[in-house]
Structure 1
């Protein structure tokens, strides 16, 4: 059995090169939590091929690189104890042959930190090919991205309307179709992530050169995103301007654990949405906290930052500086659209899986339709024959045990897996927790440490403290006074939404959600990137 096949079976990497460095940073935000066997089988191959196809379109890879490697060391990502981790060294190799970026920049933008040992080793050997191929791929991408996203929205509603009619073969066809569409949107999404990281790096360097601290975060606010529409429609639902079926038709692909195929979407269970409506009813249309007014305010914040940047820039440089800033904003909005795009494919796939689970229960192959998520993707497509309940029971037990485990933010070789709640080695200086300054402003408030957004209530002004966020957390952002996350960098989901909502955010604290006591009074400085505990829990 090859190394890749062993990971598919074990949902774990039993061994790898001791010199290789891994991170849970950005990939843990896309796919947080623990994978099931079916979830990883659905996701891993399309993601690996999407990475390689993306780099081939940009000219970084040749056509021969678009394949599934059998060695773990050659993959862009894998699993450790059921959780996703990205191969930092693989991304460093890419950055070292790509114009306009570096290994240092990739680590900072994608993962939220740079290792002290990081050394850039840029090479120009691929530059001619990249300069010939990349412009065509990049220039047309926003239009193609918009078109694919619109198509996925229509496709989702059409397929969901027919799920209950599907037989086993129909479920397999829909599942395979969803997987193919997932790979296609991920190719575009990964190009967006790569290009937007380069644009943000240039923007940060420009702001630093002009000595305008905090301006970068304001320039990257008010860009508009899919979450803006989710926030407004939540408010509209609470105020009777939108019906629940219309809301779930638009946004029902979000939900608890949405980055995992086994997650439950708002379409299936709208209870987490309905539980928040009282909070939103207290926000009047003319309140500064109303989503539409927040969006307007943040757009004004961005215009003011643009004016400040223009005034500080020599006249002959103003035109290219304005172009760079506008491009960074456009591509940042595309990042969030891409995340929504692949979640649309997940929602159809999970519906097909659960329908398949019902067929397998009727045949006596499994006991519960949820057990289908503990079967292999290939086995589901080829047909499950015979009683697999013992296999499912073993895999379910392993899955539940892994829910209590966590990985470090980065490591070399094999990770030290710890139990949930055990502190790690985050950066603290004089009692102040350090992170990345991700959204401007300062705020004090009660810390609410959140593990499950579906079961947590925030009071107005509470500070959301968590490991990471995904789009289903937007309902908490509406009432939060600030955000603190363990993972991520400037272009991670939590900081992007915090900037759109106009609330301070510090990300990349490594283990802040385990060191900040729930209910403690804390001070968040989104300009300095610090969190200070100023009062014990009441």
Structure 2
């Protein structure tokens, strides 16, 4: 079987034995796991990485072309990994900061430091803003048209994806090998399409949020930024409400899974198990939700209404500081920022719809390959690349799959740092703390969702098996939409990674849960049962005892 090898001019490569990691890279290029590790948490398999890598790279480039930043010549996947927007190291996703700096420098209304802060959750000491107006005339023509037409286009695309998922899942169990491959290709194309729109949303919302933060700073209103980014009406609100409705028998399980079954533990990886395949993580949470009545302030609808009120009051407070000539501009900015934040979560849900269909088609294809003696079990299909599957292999690939599975298993126990240059220093996954932090210890991060609460720590590594009680402070490395059921019972959320526009803070603000993100090592320092005070307005977590 012929297997292509991607090699850069500097020697970085992905090979037949290990198609999901970059082995060499220019030591001057800066990388980060911020944000991308949230979109694609965990470790890629061969199928997962080859399913998303090229479409994602082209989506980045198409997005910047639509805005007017890139030319037609940029709409190709570069041979050099140093020129790509993202890749994988030890199977884990990482973004190329140098490429994002390049784009930020060509784009009005943002900068390298703004992109680092809003998209990746931190700004390096070495970051320098070097903006140029060279592409501004083109952007002045293309960007407004793209941005203004985006919300309606995004809504329509998301609605089509929901209908497509429903139709395709009903047919998968009757598909032959060729049909499964065609459906994987279809899902891959749709993934690229929704990612183009989603990345426009992410980039524009970053610029909008940065401008809003600037207004708040000039008005000298500390803590207002998080309130302005609350109550935007994200897709996660619907998940939270439907979980509550399921617990109160206002919605049956079949309808819930039809609406939200593409979520689940490790949902950002193609080999993950969705709620549609195993609803146990959902069912295990229902008992806790049954004690939340419709008039309880913790009920999702009441939470959403309260956060809308919080945002409206914050917007009025900011508007009052502006002169009469600027008030309309301030109101327009706050409303537009809220709309784009809601679209960010909708975009994530959109690409997860494509994953769920591709996942189902891959499992069906795996069954066919087991029947022909190519694989040992159907899940082994995730350790073959897209190209390898398209060759419709006939020989026994169990030895190749065993080797790749071993690599994947080993990498589950490894971690990359938040940022680095060249190749990353790789460490063993941190163990939970064995000693209590002394009372009075303060961990600092990003003030992501306002509020001050006290409660016992619950460190969570796997949301599928976590036992989080009402009132616990949820402490973790990062979150994705599959964690929403835990947000419903947690009194606060503390994450190691992320910024104001990361998933965890957005959901926390929607549900009115105090959140401190970007502590870097909170999940390694805090221990189950320790009582802490979380101040989401100042970005601190204080150990009480």
TM-score range, shorter chain: over 0.9
1:343-358 superposed matches below 5 A: 343-358=352-367
Q: 1-side partners of 2:119 and 2:521: how far apart?
A: 18
How far the C-alpha of 1:317 sits from its partner, in A, is 1.2
Alpha-carbon separation, structure 2, partners of 1:205 and 1:413: 33
Name 1:120's counterpart in structure 2: 129
Are 2:225 and 1:221 equivalent residues in the alignment?
no
Q: Give 1:2's aligned residue.
A: 6
In structure 2, the residue matched to 1:487 is 497
5 Å matches for 1:24-63? 24-63=33-72
Distance 1:152 1:8 in 2: 34
CA distance in 2, matches of 1:398, 1:367: 17
Shift of 1:97: 0.8
Contact 1:520 1:533 in 2 (8 A): yes
Matched, 1:511 2:521: yes
Q: Take 1:141 and 1:63, find their aligned partners in 2: how far apart are those partners?
A: 21
Match of 1:439 in 2: 449
The question of 1:452 aligning with 2:462 is answered: yes
Aligned-residue offset at 1:364: 0.9
Deviates more, 1:4-13 or 1:431-440: 4-13
Q: TM-score normalized by structure 1?
A: 0.97
The Cα shift of 1:6 comes to: 3.0
Distance in 1, matches of 2:115 and 2:230, equals 21
Residue pair 1:7, 1:79 contacting (<8 A) in 2 also: no
Shift of 1:170: 0.6
5 Å matches for 1:229-378?
229-378=238-387
SS in 2 for 1:385: coil
Matching of residues 129-208 of structure 1 within 5 Å: 129-208=138-217
Kept in 1, the 8 Å contact 2:13–2:24? The answer is: no
Task: Indicate if the aligned counterparts of 1:441 and 1:504 stay in contact, CA closer than 8 A.
Answer: yes
**DSSP-derived class of the 1:78 partner:** strand
How far 1:518 moved relative to its partner? Answer: 2.1
Deviation at 1:430, TM superposition (A): 7.7
Query: Aligned with 2:326: secondary structure?
Result: helix
Residue 8 of structure 1 deviates from its aligned partner by: 6.2
- Corresponding position: 1:501 with 2:511: yes
CA distance in 2, matches of 1:250, 1:260: 20
Residues 58 and 84 of structure 1, relative CA distance in 2, 3 Å threshold: same
Q: Is the 8 A contact 2:264 2:273 kept in 1?
A: yes
The alignment status of 1:416 with 2:425, answered yes or no, reads yes
Q: Identify the range of structure 1 (315-324 vs 203-212) with the bigger mean alpha-carbon deviation.
A: 315-324
By how many angstroms is 1:200 displaced? 0.2
What is the Cα deviation at residue 43 of structure 1?
Answer: 0.6
Q: Distance in 1 between matches of 2:306 and 2:91?
A: 42
- For residue 429 of structure 1, report the CA deviation from its aligned partner: 13
| Residues paired across the two proteins, number | 532
Contact kept, 8 Å, 2:432 with 2:527, in 1: the verdict is no
Call closer, same or farther: CA 1:312–1:429 in 2, change over 3 Å: farther
What runs of 5+ residues in structure 2 fail to find an aligned partner?
none
Structure 1 partner of 2:479: 469
Indicate the SS of the match to 2:35. Answer: helix
Report if aligned partners of 1:446, 1:462 keep a CA contact under 8 Å in 2.
yes
Structure-2 change in CA distance of 1:294 and 1:101 (3 Å): same
Deviation at 1:522, TM superposition (A): 1.2
Kept after mapping to 1: 8 A contact 2:439/2:544: no
Change (3 A) 1:430 1:92: farther
Distance 1:353 1:502 in 2: 38
> What do residues 30-63 of structure 1 show as CA deviations (whole Å, max 9, x unaligned)?
0000000000010100000000000011110000
Residues 129-187 of structure 1: CA distance to partner in whole angstroms, max 9, x if unpaired? Answer: 11111111111110100000000000000000000000000101100000000000000
Tell me how large the CA RMSD over aligned residues is. Answer: 1.5
Tell me the equivalent position of 2:407.
Answer: 398
Moved over 2 A (4+): 1-10, 428-431
Find the aligned partners of 2:457 and 2:331 in 1 and give their Cα distance. 38
1:516-535 paired onto structure 2 within 5 Å: 516-535=526-545
